[in-house]
Structures are given as C-alpha cells and as structure tokens.
Structure 1
C-alpha cells in the first residue's frame, strides 16, 4: 500500500452553482529553495541529522529523523509504546530490513498511521522494529514523495507546498551542554563534584551542602567500595569448563599503558574486588 493524501470534499449550495464568467486560470506552484538566510539560527558547520517534530496519530512526536535515502518509514519501540499500540494492531510484514550498521533487525509488523503536517495529512505505512535507536521514527521517500517537501539537513529544515504558499518545519533545537563548575570537597583536589555554573546561587549552595552532607555514600576509589554483594553485580567469564584453556600469546602494551594497568590491578586486589587464581597446567 502506498501513502495517501486525505482531502475534504464539500458540495456547493444550489444557489451558488450558477455558471460564472470564464476566467483565465493560472496554475501557481510555489518555488521550494534554500538560501543563506535559511542557515540563520543553526550552528555551522555541522554534521547533524535532520530531526523534526511531526504530529503522528494526533500526538506530537519528537526526534523523527528525515532520511531521503531510505525507502520505508520505520517506527522504534519508544514510539510504539508511547502510542500504546499492541501486536493485534499490526499487519504482518516479512521483508528483511537492514539497520544502519548493516545488520538484520527484528520486525514486529506494519501499521498505517496518519502524519499531519500543517493543513496536510498523509497516511504512511510504518514498519515497527524491535531494536534500540536514538530516534523515535524515520520518515523517508514515501512520505516525502507524497507530501512533496524538500528537506535540507544543511539548513536544518523542511519546506513543503500548501496551496499557494510555502510552509516550513524547523529542526528540533539541539540540547546544549551547560558549563560546569568544579567544587573541591575538603583538602583533596582529586575529590570534587561538578555543578551547573548557571544555577541560581541559593540552589547551588543547597546542592553543594547536600553533597557534603552525604559524602560517605560516594566511592572515590575502588578501596572505598569493598565487599559488594554478589547478588547486586558479579562479573564472570563465559567459558566452557570442559574445554582445555589455551595460553594466548602475550600482548605487549606501551610502557605508559603497562604502568596504568599495573596500578589499577593493585588497587582492585587491595580492595578485594579481584583475586589471582592459579590453574593447573
């Protein structure tokens, strides 16, 4: 099934259906183009993907990636759960789908949903996959070709025609990391926290006071956290005990790496987090 556009059709009242004098008709198609002005408000240069907010099934969905190189719309688990979809809502879909890293992904099925963009509504088939992604969904050529927009990751926006005007969808604003301020605890410069430099003074003082009042719960070294309950975390090697272990050829790290490895091993042994085990030859 291909994407479709939804239109509202109304019948003119009888009194208005009289023939009118013929007028010259001009088919006006707005021009979709980008200029240097479209870069205003964006960080240049950049390598960011084009992430926008779309209204899908009457919900505003953020972090939707526009990918003109893909031939299928994809929905990821976060959106699948957010829309409260169930397996019985999906249609079967058996064609293989490759992820960005070239691996096959697990498919749940397919569902047809409306995407509203301004006054325009386009229905597309989303392939629902069961794999992690930083995006909620991907819209691609089927949506682009039906709506008729032009997307520019460089200018971080999408332009599409609607009647005799051009509408724009701006990319979601990038989350900017706040500057952090180093706060040393006591006389040891190696023991410190980082708090937001833009925090209000009172809030910052209360946060630092809270950290200092609970300093005993922080582990600054491996020795500060000995005796961790094995039911909480335990590392083990996935080996077959019936197979005779083979000694691997030694890897010779650089002098700096060897010293760093030795220091870390000593710390963990002193803390009781690891121990040396001897196996019979």
Structure 2
C-alpha cells in the first residue's frame, strides 16, 4: 500500500538505487502534481538514456498484513507516463525495511514487531507484465493501463488499452559515406543541418578518420597495464587441446 492506496504491479528491482512512481499511477491515486518537489537531476537507465523527472514526493508505504505489518516513508521519483508497472522499488526501500529478496522464488521477507513477514509475487501477473513489456517494443504505440485500487472501492480494468505518444528523436539522421575505399564505413549526421554546414562537417569527418576505431584491430597501442585479456586458468595444469 502506497499512501492510502493499494497499488498493484510493483517491480522489485535489486539494482535500482531510487524508487520510481509513474505519473499515470500518481494521477489515479488522486495526488495533485502541486505536491511534487521539483528536481533537475536526470535519471539514468542501464542503457545510459536519461530522463528529467517531474519531481519527487515522500509517501508512506505499508507492506504486509496485520498483525505482521510495517510502514516506512519512501522518497519516490515521479516519471512522466509509465510502463507496464505502476512503481519500481529498489535498494533504499529494502534497506529501510531490512528486507531480503529471493529472486528465484519471487519472495520478499522482512522483520516486523510481531515476527517475520513473507510476501509472495503473483506468478501469473509477473509473466503477463513481463510479456506486455516485451511486446511494447514491437508495438510502441500501444499501452496497457495499470491497476490502482483506492481502498476497496475503485477497480480500474487493467486490460483497457489507450494510445500514448512516445518520445521521438529531435531530428532524423542521414548516413554519409566517409571512406570511398571502404564503403562499409558509414557515419550519421543530422538531416536538418544547412547544406553548407553539412558539407563542412562531412569534410571534417573524412579528414579525421584516424580517430575512429572501426574494428578491434584499430585499437592498438593500449598499455597492458590498462587493459589485458587473460584466461582464468591455473598455470600449474598441463595444456590440453
């Protein structure tokens, strides 16, 4: 439970250093955007893509059921839009709850004043959420609404689909061939560049091809003290083919 709302489809991510709450979920919870604390710090994903959050908000999070129940305050980073999940819970929450996650069994255990509590993931919902996330890459303009229940009254159908607009590149890129002897060497520049600037950039790239590493063989002169590939094998054993 986040705030006074039972929120379904929460991703437990052992690698996440922040807690994420999507703005679609925040809106369904009835929390106005004016309560967000502004922030200009970008959030980076594992692909190094960055996004500027809409803000942060501190909400109580209650896990477990009585009598084995505990509540802690969580700082959520609010991201515009959403994914197949309503929220992402990471390491700060696990530390606050003193929780231990079991990835294979999809369980979380944490202590409470009345003993240890165990939470289990819904295996079917986990598979559906993962499949929907993968399918989203093939159908980028389709989106499945997520579930948020306020108390036991509000029931939002998770199967309702709606159109969303995904972020697009600032401009289209065009390929340029920079090496007449090796046509596979291709670079990309912005298509909206003025013609004079486009020619200048293209000539500059052609004159400085030596700074590009097209293959591993081009990366010569690296000191072995900086990087060296070696097999983790015991040298005392005889070599065999």
Q: TM-score, normalised by structure 2?
A: 0.48
Structure with bigger strand share is 2
Q: TM-score, normalised by structure 1?
A: 0.42
